[in-house]
Amino acid sequence: MKIRNSKVLLTGATGGIGQAIARELTTYGAQVLLTGRNSKILERLASELNCEQIACDLSNEVQTKALLEKVGDVDIYIANAGIPGAGSTLDLESSEIDNVIDVNLRVPIKSSTIISRSMITRGAGHIVFISSLSGLVASPTTMLYSATKFGLRGYALSLRQELAPKGVGVSVILPGFIRDAGMFAEAKVDLPRGTRTKAPQDVSSAVMSAIENNIAEILVAPIELRIGAKLGTVFPRLAELAQNAGPARAMAERLRDAQRNVH
As separate numbers, helices (DSSP H) first and strands (DSSP E) second, the chain gives 11, 7
183 vs 43: CA distance, rounded Å? 21
Q: Please, what sign has the CA dihedral across residues 37, 149, 225, 207?
A: negative
User: Phi/psi of residue 127, each to 5°?
Assistant: -125, 130
Residues 6+ apart with CB under 8 A from 227: none
Answer for the pair 168, 124: CB distance below 8 angstroms, yes or no: yes
Residue of 28, 77, 145, 155 marked active site? 145
CA–CA dist 263, 195 (Å, integer)? 25
Rounded distance, CA 108 to CA 156, Å?
10
Concerning whether 28 is annotated as a catalytic residue, the answer is no
Q: Which amino acids are annotated catalytic?
A: 145
